[in-house]
Amino acid sequence: MPVHAVSLVAMGLWLLDNCDLEACATTAAELGQWDFQLAVAPVRFAGTSGSPVNPIATF
């Protein structure tokens, strides 16, 4: 069984593709703080296995 299938289904791991982290890295460098809370709010669609999300990094 592929590792990503085990991690997605059994572990409940979320995968985020095509993230643009440039603004997050710039803010972290300006603040001198490299740890942050990441909140990811998916859109609920019935009968699907994926969704667009709105990730928010809170420093």
pLDDT in tens, 16-55: 888 899 999 999 999 999 999 999 888 888 888 788 888 8
CA–CA distance, 48 with 21 (Å, rounded to integer): 26
Name every residue whose Cβ is closer than 8 Å to that of residue 36 and which is 6 or more positions away in sequence: 24, 28, 57, 58, 59
The sign of the torsion formed by the CA atoms of 43, 3, 19, 23 equals positive
pTM above 0.95, yes or no: no
Token digits for 19? 């993230």
pLDDT at residue 13, rounded to an integer: 82
Does the pLDDT at position 4 exceed 80? Answer: no
